[in-house]
Structures are given as C-alpha cells and as structure tokens.
Structure 1
C-alpha cells in the first residue's frame, strides 16, 4: 500500500519517469557531438584549403632573408652631409648554427616553449588561456607563437582584430608547412625587433653589447630574449635595471624548460654585464626629434626610403652646444635656438646632454621671459606713435594696485624711450603698457609668433606670461626680417633614394605686419641695449641688436638678438624652477650668445641696421609738415565718407602735426585690421574703428 501510494504521489506531481529523462538527454548530447564533429570537419577542411592557398603566396626562403621591415630615412644637414640613418638597423645575417645555443634556447623558452611541437599555432596554449580566462574572470590573453609573430612581422600589421588573428594563424601554419623549424627560428632571430632600431640578434648584440651575435653570452642572451615583449620598456639604453630584471625572468623559464640547471642560473652575475656606451652626447638629436615628426604632414602616407634635407648647419650646431655647456651655471640647464632670416633653423640645443635628458627645452619648455617680453611693449608703443627720442619719466608708479620697481630700486627721472629700454626700466614699461593698452600688447605678441597664453594683467609688461624659446626667438627674427613674419622650419626638401622630389619648401611671403618706421624704431632700441645697456656682454665686434631677460629670484635668464641676418635666443635656468644664484640675462646667456654668434656670422658680411625713422604723415614734425599743406585747410569726413565740419578741439592747431588720429579723437593705428589679417593669413571679425583689440 505504501509503495503504491508513493507511485501515485509521484505520478500526481507530473514528474517524468527517470528512464525517459535520461533518454532525452542522451539524444541531445548525440546530436551535439554529431554537429560538433561535422562543424570541426568543415572548419578543418576550410583551414586546410586556406593554408594550401596561402602556401602558394609564401616567398622563398632566400627572398624572405632579403626582405626588410620599416622605412629607412637618411637625414642630411643643409650642406648635404649625412647626419644619421633613421629607421631599421640590420646586422649581419647569422645562421642558427653559428649562434651560441643559449640564444635560441632563451628565445624559445620565453616566447614559445612548445615551439618544436606545435603546427604554427599552439592549441594547448589556447586551451590554457581560455581556462585562465574562465577561472579568473579576466579577458582571454593568448601569447602568439614564434611562428605567428614571424608571420605578423613579415605579412601583416599589429591591429588587434579577429580577422588579423585568423590571418596570422593561417600564415603561421603555411610557414610551418613550407619551412623547417630551424629555418623558421633562424628567420625569426634575424628579423625580430629588439628596440632602438635594431632588427635581428646581430644588430641587437652590436647595439647593446658592442660585439657580434656570435659572441653572445648566457646573460646577454637572456637580456636580448627579454626585449621582444616590450623593446622600449626593457631596453638597456633606457633602463638597465629593467633589462636585467626581465633577464632573470628569462633565465627562470630556461630552468623550467630544463635547458638550464638551477646551478647554471645561480652562477649568472648580471652586474658583470657590460653595456655598450650610447653613441655620444649628440645634441643633433634635439633638432631631429623636433623636425622629423613633421614628415607625416609634409609627405603623408609615404613608406618608401627617403632622404630628408634639413636646415641644420653642423658647424653651428657644434658651436651652439659648446657655447651652452661652457656658460651654463652649475646645476642649471640651457637651451638655444638659432635661425636664418627666412626661419630656417641653423642650430638647436635643448639641454646640456641629450643622453642624460632628451627633453627639448628649446621647443617644449614654457618659462617666464622677464624683461625680454618688453620687445612687445615697445613695439606697441612705437605703433601708437612713440619715438626713441621721446621723453618719458622713470618714477614710482602704481597701476591697479600693482607697483613695479626697477632693478636696484632707483629712479632716473626724465629720460628718453631709448634709454628706458636700454636699461630695462620697469616703471617706464608699466606706464607705456597702461597707456597703449595691455590687450594691444598681447595682440602684438600674438602677431609676432607667441603661441602660449598671454595674460593682460599690468604685470604682463615684465614678462609674467610663459613662452617657449623657439617662439620668442621667432619674434626677434621677425624684427630682423624687417617685420616680415618668420615661420621656423627644419626640413627644406624630401627626396626618394632615386632622386624623385616628394617635397620642397616654397619661398615665404614678403608682406610685413608692421610699418617700416616701427621696425626701425625697435631696432634702434635693441641695438642700444647691446651697445650701452644690459646686453653689453653680447657684443661681438659687429652690429648686434638684442634684449636681456631675467625673472624674479634669478630663476630664468634670457638673451635674444640678431646680427647679419642670424637670430639667436638663449635661455638658462633649472628644470625645477628654483633660483640660480647670479643668473641674469646679461651674464651667462649673453656670453653664450656672443660665443656662438662669433662663429655663426664669421663668414657673413657685416650688416648695419636701418634705424632711420621714415615716419607717416601724422608723425611728421612741423618743419616737415609746412611744405605739404596748411593745417587750417584740413577737412574731416564721417564714417560714411561724407564731408563734415570739425567740432571745436578737433581742428589742428597752428604748429601741431596735422591730421593725427588722436587730434580726431581716434587712437593712432599703424595698420588696419584688414591689412593685419591679410598679412598674417588670419580671418577675424571686423572691428569698429576706434575699438580696442581683445586679448586671447
């Protein structure tokens, strides 16, 4: 009764009898196996066909030996001399039998421990990677085999797509079907990239250890094998400790693979490994690091070998390096940029030693220019109608709660503009800035090539806005070029190895952005600053125009100037912006400028500066004016050009310069907006006459 009741209870719950459930499960499992086998067979057939077809495209072994990866770029100086080869560096082809056996052992241990047993792809490795992914919850990461890496380097790219991975597997199996394991490993060892431009074990051995691959020792083999994973990170030239730490990992994998005993590993002393010294403190690299990335814009999508002709003068580059190193204060850094009158960079020094620091302070660092920024203050004042001989007063002044003081704390009273600039009088610069407008000064700085933000606080006249050395040098070069905008450049032409021209720089424009009298006036001031003012240490026995700059607490020292068509800017200071005792623009930077410029202009003719003020009509003196017209005969027009009667106070007084804008209630203007926009290639909204420019 109890048994029957139990059967009835089970039946009442509607549960299927156990034998029926097992039968259904077995049916689905059988179908799954059949479909899996069928799909696997189809996949195997498809893969076999793909491999067979791909095998027909695999070049011969000799053809693969001759092939090279990467683009070769031969860099030349302005006179055609070869600076260096950029791109892949290949050593001698080394047959695997001529390599110390520790080299292939180290490589297969760390990169592909089942190299001799798989078919190009490693199924066990894939299964293991899938298991780790499932158990850890992380995304699947399977390491490519040596054959897959070779296939990728020879035939594919580094994109991380499923299509590329499938193609990589097909090519790898095609290589395995075409060549022996020894041939594949030999190709790999002679073509894999080890960093620093070195392709192949021989190039790596020569670069990092200074000897051919046939002399590789066990610790060196471990270091070289460890580079493949991340060439830049583990490079001995970048981080010797990282390279040796990675080598220890390689040695341990060799022990795990039983190609090395624990005692042999323990006997390895990494501290005794001698790395080859880096090829000199070549400061040319500061220049090429700045110039060569521009190739992507000048000749985009080009992959063939090319020759790049640069503007660099090797003699000037050497002289610039010596000048900076010889004069920079202890514990400080220095930078120098020198350019020709068309903007061609002749020399560039980004620091005292490229090997210890490849940071280019000439193009990347932003520092306060101090009084060197007064170039823009006085340019704005000259545009507004000031002349070098005009009287100004050096006296205490407060502007919007800011009270500048002069170096030394003294005041000279009434002096002229020329003297105020030569002796870098801060109070006069502040008064001029307040009068012409701080926004106007910022606008001048922009026009002359300053690309960093410029503030319009009163203290901006003393250089409180950060600038780059190359930008400030460019501004002085524009003055040297008589107001024609200068665009710094480092590449003059690019040609293929068979002489085909891919790029050639076109001639720059000739339209000045300020009138001639403004350039004459500022050149007068700059020349005086060197002759009798703060820049006397920059004298070189021929006309020099320039300006010093020193920031508070002697954190930065500048000198920028030009002579015989060459403009040079020098900066010195500490990277951490701490004070440098005794550093002033008129000391070490000016001396470095003079040392370099004596060499730079030695073969150029002496050029006298044009400082004659050819003033416009509204600035003519009364004696010159009387031969042109009677001041009482001047008429006035409104904004639509209609003749109107002048209001009281507008009409020029006898003996006054006639027709000056300020007599009409208008600010003096050296150039209209349309003219400036056309000259600089910029489009800007039209500004109603009389309105002031706004700071950016």
Structure 2
C-alpha cells in the first residue's frame, strides 16, 4: 500500500545513495561504469597540461625578457656608434715627404669596395671568415669547427667569430672577455646583418678596423706601412694588411716587421687554400715580401718637439699633416755616429749620454736632432730642454761684444795671470806667451785672456746683453766668471746663436714645420722672420776666428778635408760637460757629451770626442 505524507507536512527528499545520483544506473549496468568515468578525467588532464604550458610560456617569456634586458640594458646605440668621434691625428712627414711618425687615430681616405683590388677583401675573408657571404652574422658551422679544433689541441687555437661579429666588437664594444659581452656581440651582429648588405658590411670593416700603430682602416694602414693608398697595394701587401686584425699591436710592420711577414705568409697560404690564388703564386708573393726600413730609429725627440705647440699654433684644426724639416739621411747618420761613439770611446771615458742638433743657419730649419742616446730608454730631450753651463763655447759671445766695442781680431791681449776680487782664473796646460791676438786667444781658448776681453767689451752686463740679443736666455752671472761660460744654456739656443755668425748676422728661429694641411686645406705656418742682430762685418770676423779654432787651435779634431768649417770647443769644471758648436755651411751643428747625474767624465774635452763626432757627421751626412 502506498504511503502518503501526513496532511500539512511536506514530504522529505529521498536520501542520496553513497554512490551518488548515478548509483542506480551504475548498479543497473556495471559494465558501462569505467567508460562513464574516464571521459571527464581525460578532459581535466588536458586542461591542466594546457594551463601548465600557458604558465610556462608566460614565465618563460618574462624570464627571456629579463635576460634580454640584462644583456641589452647598456648596449650602445648602433646608429650613434657608427658616427662616433675619435682623437684628431697628427701625421709628420720628413723634408722629402716620407712618413716620419703618426699620433692619434689615423684614418685614410674612404676606401670603396669597387676601387680596391679584389684580392684585398678576398685575403681578409680567406683568413678571417671564409663563410662570410653564406652566414647570417653568426656561423654555427664555424663555431663547431673551431670547437672541434680547440678540443683536439686541448687549447684555444681557433675562434668562431665572424667578420660581422668582429665589426660589432670593434665598432660598439670594449675588448672585455665575458659571456655577457659575447652575447651583446652576437645581438649587434644580427642587427648589422639586417641593416646592411654583405658588401656594405665588408666596406665598413675595411674602413674602420684597427690595424696597429694608430691606423684605422686599410687605406691609412697602407699609407703608413707601404707609402701607397689601399687601391694600389700589391698582393703580398694586401696579405700583410689582412693578417693584422688578429693582433694589430703585435703583428704590425712597425712594431714587429718579421712577425708581420710571417703572418702575411699565413694569409697567402689561406688564400691558396680557398682557391683565390695558386700555391705557386702564394710562394712567389711570400718571397717578394720586403718591408721598407723605418725612417729613423729615435727621431722621437724631434717629433715631440714639433708637436709641443700644435694646440697653440693650429687650434681646432682637426687632423693635421705636417711636412717637417727633418733630413732623414742626416738624422740616421747623427743617431748612428752618436751611438757608436758612446758605445766605444765614450764608454771607456765614462761618457754615458750625448745630444746633437743640426740647424740650417740660413732659415733656422732643424735638420737633425738627437736628444740623447735612446729615445725608447729616455725620451727626455737633452738637446732642447737640458740647461747646462756652456763653458768655453760661450766665449765667442764675449769676443763679439768686444768687436762691437771697437776691438779687432788682430788686437793684442795679455795672457798673464790676473786676480779679480780674490778670484784667479787658470789657463790649464796653456803656456803663457805674454801677449797674443784676440784671434789666437780664442783659437786656444785662453781663460785669462777671455776675462780681459770681457772687460774690454764693457763688463759682464754688456756681454749678457749681447748674449740675449743672440737668443740666449741665461741666467747670466754679473761677474767676470761669465767669460768662462758660467751661465746656463741649451744646445738648441747655442746652435741658433752660432748660426748668426755663419749667415751674416741674422738671428733665425729654430723650427721644424714647413707646411701644414688639414682636411685638404693648407694652413698658415707660424714663423718669425730672421732678424739682424749683428753687422755683416762683425759676423765675418767671427767666422774667421772660429775657423782659426779648427785650423790651429783646440778644435783641430773637427777639421774636415775639402770643407770650410769653424767652431768652438767647451769643457766645464771636472769634465762634467764637453761641447763643440761648429759651422759647416749650410749647417750649424752642436754636440754635447756628459752624464745625466753630472758625474765627471775621464778627461773628455770639447776638442776631443765632441769635435771628433762633429767631423764624422759632416763627412758622412753632408754632400
């Protein structure tokens, strides 16, 4: 019988079975139960995996963005780096136009790919990046090959960087070796490959790569090392240039000519290996390699002297090309003869240093300058900067003051002992004659006579005035000892003063530049015109007396057969300084020997080694 709920009370809902609402149907068809439960579970698993993948993608993107930001946050702006500025360059040429030295960042003309011989970029790709035209900026094949070679050798023997990566590093990055910099290099390489064509990349590389000795780009390097523009290089020259990016500071022809030639031969072999040239041609070109001799070993003193006033003389001029007054042949003679003397008799006599300066007495052009024994060992310029007592090479100034006071070379002067205020000058080994002419007194450098000539000229102050007029700056003691050279002077100033004796009485300004060019525009070269400081008549008298010094006086070691020369010797107390300043038209040449610490030499007088060195320079260096 059916039961009905009591009136007024709602019926209670049926209790759910433990199996859930589907328990009845499940009990009715137990075989279908597994199939009924699996589909919902499959749908839930796929969704979970999709959710996981989505989260992984999101967080992976965030991590990748963070990593990218870490590598890229300080990357330079490529557009700005391509137009980056550099230090202005200064190129010094010798008097004949040959390259003397370069300073700053040296760039040549822009080299267009179509204007260059095909073997120049070909040599570069053969040795640096054979797959340059196939890869996309990074070369997985090259990296794998380099890794395998390094693994076999158990050391780094190959690199996997492409030319594009090298360009990115050279243009935008520092030489730092780190994973971060390598990633940045790769990023910039990809940017370059998207921005430029392969030919454009190659052209940029050839114009901006550093190739040693301050030279950037193949044109600057070709002019620096071979004296020709890049469009005119030979095959073996191109091979040397292409070999420089590996180690420009260590392999360039100026720093290591032998290493540069060996590297050039490796490049020729690489060119043969890629089929650009035959092995026979590679061997022939390797045999032709011969680098020109450097113009001068230690002309650094001259280069430094020329560059001292560049900012004042050429303000804001940018890149400069300066034609200098230096005579390369004479400079080489000066350096070689000075070193030979200091290594031989100078070493025996404890003369450790020396300086030589040759000046054209017609206009003041400095033709040769050695400021010491070795510029690399000591760049201090003893020819220009060092101030020392000149000794008896100062006496011609005293004689000139006497001539201007009315004396003549024939006038007699006593060589007898004298005492002034308790001071008595000595004559050394000179045996007194009683009296002798002013010419003979200068020729034999008699000290007591020199003091009397100073008094005849009007005293120390009048002689000091004459010295200043000749360009000597002093200081000058206000006493009679000035007659014996107790002032101070540089070798450069003494030579310029003697030039006035040799050129007829004109004071010339020593200078080292004859022509200045910036951006293909000629610049005015500051120059002081020669000024008359003594009469032609008195200059002729001085030349005559200086000739007597060499002909029959203390300077006989300076006599040159077949040439009219003159000069004066000088030796300071205890043989601390030995001088010879001479005239060998058209040059005035000065020599100093001594030691930087002012230690005495062993009986080195101005009439010995300095006069001998003057003679050797004139015989070998002048036509």
C-alpha offsets along residues 135-163 of structure 1, whole Å, 9 cap, x if unaligned?
A: xxxxxxxxxxx9xxxxxxxxxxxxxxxxx
- The 8 Å contact of residues 323 and 593 in structure 1, kept in 2 or not, is answered as no
1:284 aligns with 2:284: no
Q: Secondary structure at the match of 1:465?
A: coil
Q: Would you say 1:572 and 2:589 are equivalent positions?
A: no
Look up the SS of the partner of 2:321 in the other structure. Answer: strand
Alignment CA distance shift 1:109-1:346 (3 Å): closer
Equivalence map 1:148-167=2 (5 Å): none
What is the match of residue 335 of structure 2?
Answer: 321
Aligned to 1:75: 92
- How far apart, in 2, do the equivalents of 1:375 and 1:395 lie? 20
Residue equivalent to 1:411 = 432
- Which stretch shows the higher mean deviation, 554-563 or 352-361? 352-361
1:453 aligns with 2:480: no
Counterpart among 508, 511, 517 of residue 495 in structure 1: 517
* The one of 512, 527, 534 aligned to 2:547: 527
3-state DSSP of counterpart to 2:452: helix
Q: Cα offset for 1:323? A: 2.5
* Residue 516 in structure 1 maps to residue 531 in structure 2: no
CA distance, structure 2, for counterparts of residue 534 and residue 548 of structure 1: 7
- Are residues 528 and 409 of structure 1, via their aligned partners in 2, closer, same or farther at CA, if it must alter by over 3 Å? closer
Q: Is the Cα contact below 8 Å between 1:80 and 1:309 reproduced in 2?
A: yes
Q: 1:530 to 1:116 in 2, by over 3 A?
A: closer
Matches within 5 A, 1:489-638: 489-496=511-518, 498=520, 500-504=521-525, 508-509=529-530, 511-541=531-561, 542-602=563-623
- Give the superposition deviation at 1:545: 1.7
Distance 2:605 2:616 in 1: 17
- Name the CA shift for 1:391/1:108 in 2 (closer, same or farther; >3 Å): closer
Cα distance in 1, alignment partners of residues 522 and 176 from structure 2: 46
Give the Å deviation of 1:457: 2.7
Q: Which of these residues, 93, 103, 113, is aligned with residue 86 of structure 1?
A: 103
1:5-84 equivalences under 5 Å are: 58-59=79-80, 63=82, 69-84=86-101
Question: Relative to 1, partners in 2 of residues 1:596 and 1:178: Cα closer, same or farther, differing over 3 Å?
Answer: same
Aligned to 2:54: none
> How many residue pairs get matched?
428
State the distance in 1 between where 2:335 and 2:183 align.
57
Structure 1: distance between partners of 2:609 and 2:208:
49
Aligned match for 1:294, one of 309, 333, 345: 309
Contact 1:74 1:307 in 2 (8 A): yes
- Aligned residues of 1:327 and 1:589 also touching (Cα < 8 A): no
CA-CA distance at 1:512 after TM superposition:
1.8
Report the CA distance between 1:591 and its aligned residue.
1.0
* Distance 1:100-1:360 versus aligned 2 partners, 3 A rule: farther
Cα distance in 2 for residues equivalent to 1:89 and 1:577: 41
Shift of 1:563: 2.4
Deviations along 1:95-147, one digit per CA (max 9) or x if unpaired, are: 89798489999x989688866899xxxxxxxxxxxxxxxxxxxxxxxxxxx9x
CA distance in structure 2 between the aligned counterparts of 1:108 and 1:283, rounded to whole angstroms: 32
Deviation at 1:446, TM superposition (A): 0.9
2:613 and 2:435 mapped to 1: Cα distance? Answer: 34
Residues 553-585 of structure 1 deviation map (CA, whole Å, 9 limit, x = unaligned): 111111111122211111111111111113111
Q: CA deviation at 1:452?
A: 3.8
Is 1:376–1:445's contact at 8 Å kept on the other side of the alignment? yes
Query: Among 345, 364, 378, which residue is 2:399 paired with?
Result: 378
1:404 & 1:528 partners in 2: Cα distance?
23
- Using the alignment, how far apart are the partners of 2:174 and 2:430 within structure 1? 74
Mark the CA change 1:438 to 1:212 in structure 2 (over 3 Å): closer, same or farther. Answer: same
**Aligned 1:71-220 pairs, distance under 5 A:** 71-88=88-105, 100=159, 197=214
Q: Secondary structure of 1:534's partner? A: coil
Per-residue deviation, 1:600: 4.2
CA contact 1:100–1:214 (8 Å) conserved in 2: no
The secondary structure found in structure 1 opposite 2:514 is strand
Secondary structure in structure 1 of the residue aligned to 2:410: coil
Aligned partners of 1:492 and 1:470: how far apart in 2?
Answer: 18
CA contact (8 A) 2:390 2:572 kept: yes
1:571 alignment partner, SS class: strand
Tell me which residue corresponds to 2:324: 310
CA distance in 2, matches of 1:319, 1:213: 32
Shift of 1:70: 2.2
User: CA 1:409–1:108 in 2, change beyond 3 Å: closer, same or farther?
Assistant: closer
Q: Which residue of 2 aligns with 1:606?
A: none
Give the TM-score normalised by the residue count of structure 2.
Answer: 0.59
Deviates most, 70-79 or 488-497: 70-79
What SS does the corresponding residue of 1:58 show, helix, strand or coil?
helix
In the other structure, the counterpart of 2:451 is 430
Q: Is the 8 A contact 2:90 2:102 kept in 1?
A: yes
Determine helix, strand or coil for the equivalent of 1:568. Answer: strand
**Change over 3 Å in CA distance of 1:522–1:75 after alignment to 2:** same
**Partner residue of 2:422 out of 401, 413, 418:** 401
Cα RMSD for the two superposed structures: 4.4
**Offset, 1:85:** 3.1
1:87 and 1:78 map into 2 onto residues whose CA distance is 21
Any unmatched runs of 5+ in structure 1? 1-50, 119-145, 147-174, 225-235, 238-277, 603-696
Describe the shift of the 1:116–1:515 C-alpha distance in structure 2 as closer, same or farther (beyond 3 A).
closer
Give the deviation of 1:485 after TM superposition.
Answer: 1.1
What residue in structure 1 maps to residue 504 of structure 2? Answer: 482
Give, in whole Å, the separation in 1 of the partners of 2:209 and 2:474.
43
Q: 1:72 to 1:428 in 2, by over 3 A?
A: same
Deviation at 1:312, TM superposition (A): 0.8
438 and 193 in structure 1: CA distance in 2 versus 1, 3 angstrom threshold? farther
Deviation at 1:178, TM superposition (A): 7.7
1:365 and 1:373 map into 2 onto residues whose CA distance is 16
TM-superposed CA distance for 1:74, in Å, is 2.6
Contact 1:530–1:546 (8 Å) recurs in 2: yes
Match of 1:334 among 318, 342, 354: 354
Q: CA deviation at 1:296?
A: 2.0
Matches of residues 237-248 of structure 1 in structure 2 within 5 Å? none
Residues 333 and 620 in structure 2, CA contact (< 8 A), matched pair in contact too: yes
Closer, same or farther: CA 301–452 of 1 in aligned 2, 3 Å: farther
* The structure with more radius of gyration: 2
- 2:619 is paired with a residue whose SS is helix
For 2:335 and 2:413, the matched residues in 1 are separated by: 41
> Corresponding residue for 1:151?
none
More divergent stretch after superposition (87-96 vs 588-597) = 87-96
Maintained 8 Å contact 2:413/2:449: yes
Moved more, 90-99 or 408-417: 90-99
